[in-house]
């Protein structure tokens, strides 16, 4: 196992659980649009998407990029799941540098845009390759723009992930999912006191119960095909048993103990574009080793058994068309495959 980086005295990860948790807003909220009205026009090959496979917010962008077939238009950089005091780093690449941007740390692209910027260094981030400057770290908007502004570069048969007739309903569903589930697990996991934790954890499971009711007789959250809402819920559900149940103490039940949500999550995982972007090894290494404030030993648990992700889900009996009038994405591009260490296989019981 790689050596655990030594936390700096002021490492924010070491302070987790010592003060009330509040998610920072994205400081860099520029948008890349078809008409370039923000100064950043959609252009094939110009931008690089920097992600961590451990991060649920970044994983949204990875799934969207796959489903829409933007791999050739928007290149992908994958950061090491283990951060040091300078945050996300490119130690997975030869020489410890991103081969396109030529930098060791994502923070260098942030600094190229603005010195002494607030809010830290986060993923997903879109970097302008010619200038080396960060364009945006607005995780809420990036995927919406990939779906609506990058349409000229979508693959033939790309699904409509944010269809106009359903946007109001999608937005309403995503608001509750974000507040109580996506962000709720963090509010519970990083809570500094019992009351704060209790309230957040109750919100998580109240919303999961409501979502289970919604999905009991419909295959997808909104409409009869995949939308942005499903992507946003999936990236939390796929991490639930591996990280949030134990590490964040969201343990009223496991995802695998919730029949509807477990079947729904498996359905998505087995859909091209979802599970083929998930690296469970990166997820566990990041959460358990980086969040030193709530797991100071850095010990990573052996479980859970991931084999169930490949079990039949039978959700196709509810109907629906995963890609609407479109088609599934093609194979994962060479070099972007999830290593065997991050894919499900039955837990080797010794």
Residues serving a catalytic function are 55, 186
Tell me the three-class secondary structure of 192-233, residue by residue.
Answer: CCHHHHHHHHHHHHHHHHHHHHHHCCCCCCCCCCCCHHHHHH
Residues shown for the chain: 350
Count the Cβ atoms, other than its own, within 10 Å of residue 168. 10
Burial class (CB in 10 A: 0-12, 13-18, 19+), 231: buried
Within 10 A of 320 (CB to CB), how many other CB atoms are there? 16
Q: Are strands 125-128 and 47-51 parallel, antiparallel or unpaired?
A: antiparallel
CA 51 to chain centre: 9
- Please say whether the beta carbons of 123 and 55 come within 8 A: yes
In Å, how far from its chain's centre is CA 78? 12
Q: How far apart are CA 157 and CA 326, in angstroms?
A: 4
88 is in an annotated binding site: yes
- 144: Cβ contacts below 8 Å, ≥ 6 apart: 162, 228
- Between helix 228-239 and helix 139-148 the angle, nearest 10°, is 140
Which residues are documented as binding site for glutathione? 88
Which residues are documented as binding site? 88
């Amino acid at each position: 196992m790689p050596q655990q980086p030594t936390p700096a005295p002021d490492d924010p990860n070491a302070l987790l659980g010592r003060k009330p948790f509040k998610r920072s807003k994205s400081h860099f909220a520029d948008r890349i649009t078809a008409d370039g009205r923000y100064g950043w026009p959609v252009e094939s090959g110009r931008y690089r998407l920097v992600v961590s496979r451990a991060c649920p917010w970044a994983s949204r962008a990875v799934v969207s990029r796959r489903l829409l077939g933007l791999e050739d238009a928007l290149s992908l950089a994958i950061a090491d799941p283990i951060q040091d005091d300078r945050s996300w780093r490119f130690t997975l690449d030869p020489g410890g540098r991103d081969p396109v941007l030529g930098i060791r740390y994502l923070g260098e692209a942030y600094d190229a845009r603005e010195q002494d910027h607030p809010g830290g260094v986060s993923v997903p981030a879109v970097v302008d390759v010619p200038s080396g400057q960060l364009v945006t770290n607005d995780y809420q908007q990036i995927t919406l723009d990939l779906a609506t502004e990058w349409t000229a570069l979508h693959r033939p048969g790309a699904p409509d992930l944010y269809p106009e007739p359903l946007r109001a309903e999608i937005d309403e569903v995503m608001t509750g999912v974000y507040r109580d589930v996506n962000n709720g697990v963090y509010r519970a996991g990083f809570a500094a006191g019992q009351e704060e934790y209790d309230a957040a954890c109750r919100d998580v499971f109240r919303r999961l119960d409501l979502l289970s009711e919604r999905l009991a007789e419909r295959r997808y959250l909104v409409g009869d095909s995949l939308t942005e809402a499903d992507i946003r819920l999936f990236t939390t559900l796929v991490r639930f048993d591996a990280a949030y149940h134990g590490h964040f103490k969201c343990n009223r039940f496991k995802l695998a103990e919730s029949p509807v949500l477990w079947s729904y999550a498996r359905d998505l995982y087995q859909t091209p574009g979802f599970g083929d972007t998930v690296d469970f090894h990166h997820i566990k290494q990041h959460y358990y080793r980086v969040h030193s404030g709530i797991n100071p030993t850095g010990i990573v648990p052996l479980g859970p058994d991931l084999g169930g992700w490949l079990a039949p889900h039978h959700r196709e009996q509810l109907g629906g068309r995963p890609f609407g009038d479109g088609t599934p994405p093609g194979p994962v591009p060479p070099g972007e495959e999830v290593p065997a260490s991050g894919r499900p296989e039955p837990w080797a019981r010794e």
